[in-house]
Copies of this chain bind each other. A is one copy, B any other.
Amino acid sequence: MNSDIILLGHGSGGKLSHQLLDTLIIPTLSQVAERDQNDSAILHHEGGRLAFTTDSYVIDPIFFPGGNIGDLAVNGTVNDLAMAGARPLAISVAFILEEGLLLTELKIILESMREAAEKAGVRIVTGDTKVVPKGKGDKLFINTSGIGVFDHDLEITGSGARVGDKILINGTLGDHGMAVLASREGLELDADIRSDSAALNHLVADLLATCGGSVHVLRDPTRGGVATTLKEIARQSQVEITLDESALPVDDTVAGACAILGLDPLFVANEGKLLAAVAPEAADEILALVRRHPEGEKAAIIGEVTGTAPGKVLMRTAIGGRRAIEMLAGEQLPRIC
């Protein structure tokens, strides 16, 4: 551990987050917990397989272009279940409200949660509400946990990538993170950047029903962005992944905002995106299928699994070079989800 206190970077989803888990949380809980390297844990019981996931949302600001903390919390947990290949059965919602929060704001957030749940086709079956004194929270934090069930026997995990697999993303990089940051910093831009917050369960269900056997890994590149998520996949699957810089879909306004702020869209959070490692022979069919979904119109093949050097991610640059990609170090964008 670099220090004896919690730093903002411990919440980045990047290097410090992994360090906190690997050196403190998991070792201390070792008898009762294992390191869950996937977006959902898979439980086996008499009734079959279940997926189970949890996430707390502490995003600042709670309202941003393209969404708010409410739909983000629903979509995020639905997506974590979908990334395991599960169909979301039910979610829970737990609020930590700061004394003084406007009920009108809470109502707007609840309405967004309802809309997001309706779109995803998932029910909110249980909840909890706590209140903390003014100055001991920040408007509201939301935890959503979710249970998913399986309509197939496929095992979709982060360790499934194989040499030769193509890496697919369902659209542009970094929209969510830059929308939140632009809104937080009051950045004046030529065009609006909107969060990509969306539920991907319908897209994943279609994908698995049609080409399930060719889908080896699914993961959503949230905190830490595409770079950090690919590093995780490369580590879990013990492979080397090479990205094509020229193939990465990035919105012009997002690219411009990143340039102004000195950020790399590869490390910026997404909330309606998935990365997939798919069998090369099915890649074109899968790309076409994903593009038929509204959440996949700008899908692209952005790289491939190029070898067995464990945990390595390389970028083939536009001018023909190669550079290594690392996990997000420190905290690029605090409180992005």
Interface residues of chain A, those whose CB is within 8 Å of chain B, are 1, 3-11, 17, 20-21, 24-25, 28-34, 36, 40-41, 43, 45-48, 50, 52-58, 60, 89-90, 92-104, 106-107, 110-111, 113-114, 117-118, 122-133, 135-138, 141, 143, 145, 147, 149, 334-335
Residues on the B chain within 8 Å of A113, using CB: 29, 32
Q: With contacts A48-B46, A147-B50 known, is A6 near B90, CB below 8 A? A: no
CA distance A28 to B115 in the complex (A): 10
Instruction: Decide if A103 touches B28 in the complex (CB within 8 Å).
Output: no
Instruction: Decide if B56 touches A6 in the complex (CB within 8 Å).
Output: no
Instruction: Decide if A132 touches B126 in the complex (CB within 8 Å).
Output: no
Instruction: Decide if A143 touches B4 in the complex (CB within 8 Å).
Output: no
Residues on the B chain within 8 Å of A43, using CB: 89-90, 125, 147
Q: With contacts A1-B103, A103-B5, A149-B47 known, is A11 near B334, CB below 8 A? A: no
In whole Å, how far is A167's beta carbon from the nearest beta carbon of chain B? 25
CA distance A328 to B98 in the complex (A): 21
Instruction: Decide if A131 touches B29 in the complex (CB within 8 Å).
Output: no
- 16 A-B contacts (beta carbon < 8 Å): A3-B103, A5-B103, A8-B133, A10-B129, A10-B131, A24-B107, A32-B114, A32-B123, A33-B114, A33-B127, A43-B89, A52-B147, A54-B127, A54-B143, A55-B94, A58-B96
For the complex, would chain A's binding face be called helix, strand, loop or mixed by DSSP majority?
mixed
- The 8 Å CB contact of A28, one of B28, B98, B101, B107, is B107
Instruction: Decide if A127 touches B24 in the complex (CB within 8 Å).
Output: no
Instruction: Decide if A97 touches B6 in the complex (CB within 8 Å).
Output: yes
Q: With contacts A89-B43, A93-B54, A147-B52 known, is A33 near B133, CB below 8 A? A: no
Q: With contacts A54-B127, A92-B52, A99-B7 known, is A132 near B138, CB below 8 A? A: yes
CA distance A130 to B141 in the complex (A): 10
Residues on the B chain within 8 Å of A100, using CB: 5-6
From A47, which residue of chain B is reached at the shortest CB distance? B47
Instruction: Decide if B58 touches A114 in the complex (CB within 8 Å).
Output: no
Residues on the B chain within 8 Å of A114, using CB: 28-33
- The 8 Å CB contact of A29, one of B33, B52, B124, is B124
CA distance A243 to B48 in the complex (A): 44
